[in-house]
Structure 1
Amino acid sequence: MKKLSFAVSAVALAAALLPALASAQNIAIVNGKAVPKARFESFMTQVTKQGNQPRTPELEQQVKDELVLREIFVQEAEARGLQRGEEYRSQMDVARQSLLIRELFNEYQKKNAVSDAEVKAEYDKLKGTGGGTEYRARHILVEKEDEAKALIAQLKAGAKFEDLAKANSKDPGSAPNGGDLDWAAPGNFVPEFSQAMVKLEKGKFTETAVKSQFGYHIIQLEDSRAATFPSLEEVKPQLSQRLQQAKMTKFREDLKNKAKTDYKFGAQ
């Protein structure tokens, strides 16, 4: 009888502990179905990573609220049989593909991370071709040659280049700054622009409009200097990202090229 009594007590204790154990593993029970803590942790990781947010008690509460609401809504949708609909199954297939592709690329990136040696080699290559001269120029971009001619006439009459650029330039990036393009190497510009720019004397502007694919430019040279090159540490993140993107592009192209398909991709 003592053994039986002990067994009954153990069962009773286990039954009493079950709700606590379930609570430790789940954040809620909705209509008898658990919302697991693992789902909460996974969702939290995505939210903090994608939104670059710190994990706070307030954010945790918001995520828990969202997950419980989702479970309520999903249960209702399933009760109505919506998961058997053609549209739902089609979208689920697309979502499945997207998740698998993401995992494929994530796995490749982890196994093919850019090394410090690769970054250093790329830096040395760029540094070897990074000499020469940098130029600081302003420009006014307009659509028609007649507009450019009229603005050049105003400049010759004494108008300030910066004022005309702010009022007339179609370049949204430089117009608010009076057409200022900051320091840059000639190679950063289209050939027509750079060829005209390097011929200018300091403080002078092009007295003939320079035509490019963007329209008509009036260019003023502010100054020039020997090109400087940033340190490896300054550009390491950008170089690493560029090299990683190049690896990923090659990986994608390799998979595409070795696949056996009768499909013809566009822009071949």
Structure 2
Amino acid sequence: MKLNVSCLFAALLLVSGAAFAADKPIAKVNGAAISAAVNEALIDEQVQQGAQVNDELKKAARDELIRREVLAQDAHKQGLDKKSEVAARMELARQAVLVGYYVDQWIKTHPISDDKLKAEYDRRITGMKDMEYKARHILVEKEDDAKAIITKLQTGAKFEDLAKDSKDTGSKDNGGELGWSLPQNYVQPFADALRKLEKGKFTTVPVQTQFGYHVIMLEDTRKPEPPKFEDVKGQLQQGMQQQALSQFVAEMVSKAKVE
């Protein structure tokens, strides 16, 4: 079994021996103990990447640590740990692990309450004032081509048939259909034109965006159905947790004496 060992973990092996000397070792290499704690950390890293804990994984982890300890010892003999670029990367690795655990502990001790999550959910739902639009469009390179399409539509041509010449490969084979979407999901000129249209109508003036010239047809509108709280609770929690963490870090940095 081949382990997917991160460069970060590999760098930490260069400095792990002394830190875990008190743990019961899983092996000794030239008298140097390989800590059970380091072994568990490696196994945990593999589990987070989708591996299953079994005898094969445990053996692979032990074998990997032995190989790396052999290489780490030789690296020390050659003085590689004294090289500035190696020392700098080792320090970055040490900081990354320490900060990672610090952040994990902070999040565990500063959870976002259900009341705050529900309040944020209600705020966002209240803000969903815009309608959803079901539209079609035809995208062409030149304004004159868009004008010609509008003329054909005005004389009875079917939008779906004309859409076959659209530059938008994602919608041309579906009659130019874009499906249901909020206008803010489109670029500004497109969204503005869409909001002004009546159901069943198309733009009588080409709409220019950075993609070219559009002829847009509005098929229908509807009030968007908000997602259920339970369906978005996890996403809300993650976002609010990250926002709270960012604010906390910013406050810590502002209080620090930086010269």
Query: What is the Cα deviation at residue 139 of structure 1?
Result: 4.1
Q: 1:25 to 1:233 in 2, by over 3 A?
A: same
Other-structure match for 1:135 = 133
Other-structure match for 1:84 = 82
Query: What is the Cα deviation at residue 150 of structure 1?
Result: 7.3
Alignment length, in residue pairs? 233
Other-structure match for 1:65 = 63
Other-structure match for 2:27 = 28
Other-structure match for 1:6 = none
- Superposition map of 1:1-268 within 5 A: 25-49=24-48, 51-139=49-137, 144-146=141-143, 149=146, 152=149, 156=153, 158=158, 160=161, 163-165=164-166, 168-169=167-168, 180-212=177-209, 216-261=213-258
Q: Decide whether the 8 Å contact of 1:148 with 1:217 is kept in 2.
A: no
Q: Decide whether the 8 Å contact of 1:169 with 1:175 is kept in 2.
A: yes
Query: What is the Cα deviation at residue 36 of structure 1?
Result: 2.1
Partner Cα distance (1:37, 1:151) in 2: 75
Identity level (%): 37
Q: Secondary structure at the match of 2:50?
A: coil
Structure 1 unaligned spans of 5+: 1-23, 263-268
Amino acid at match of 1:250: Q
Q: Secondary structure at the match of 1:160?
A: helix
Query: What is the Cα deviation at residue 152 of structure 1?
Result: 3.6
Partner Cα distance (1:239, 1:214) in 2: 33
Q: Decide whether the 8 Å contact of 1:131 with 1:228 is kept in 2.
A: no
Larger Rg belongs to? 1
Other-structure match for 2:8 = none
What are the superposed Cα offsets for residues 174-224 of structure 1, whole Å, 9 maximum, x if unpaired?
678776544222333343222211223444443433234565444333422
What are the superposed Cα offsets for residues 143-189 of structure 1, whole Å, 9 maximum, x if unpaired?
x5448627846974546366445xx227x7x6787765442223333
What are the superposed Cα offsets for residues 220-246 of structure 1, whole Å, 9 maximum, x if unpaired?
334221221121111111111121121
Q: Decide whether the 8 Å contact of 1:210 with 1:217 is kept in 2.
A: yes
Other-structure match for 1:7 = none
Amino acid at match of 1:75: Q
TM-score of the aligned structures, taking structure 1 as reference length: 0.71
TM-score of the aligned structures, taking structure 2 as reference length: 0.74
Q: Decide whether the 8 Å contact of 1:151 with 1:164 is kept in 2.
A: no
Q: 1:78 to 1:141 in 2, by over 3 A?
A: farther
Query: What is the Cα deviation at residue 247 of structure 1?
Result: 0.8
Provide the alpha-carbon RMSD of the alignment.
3.2
Partner Cα distance (2:189, 2:126) in 1: 25
Query: What is the Cα deviation at residue 79 of structure 1?
Result: 1.8
Q: Decide whether the 8 Å contact of 2:194 with 2:218 is kept in 1.
A: yes
Q: Decide whether the 8 Å contact of 2:134 with 2:178 is kept in 1.
A: yes
Partner Cα distance (1:56, 1:155) in 2: 68
Amino acid at match of 1:160: D
Q: 1:137 to 1:80 in 2, by over 3 A?
A: same
Bigger drift between 38-47 and 131-140 goes to 131-140
Q: Decide whether the 8 Å contact of 2:202 with 2:215 is kept in 1.
A: yes
Amino acid at match of 1:235: V
Query: What is the Cα deviation at residue 119 of structure 1?
Result: 0.6
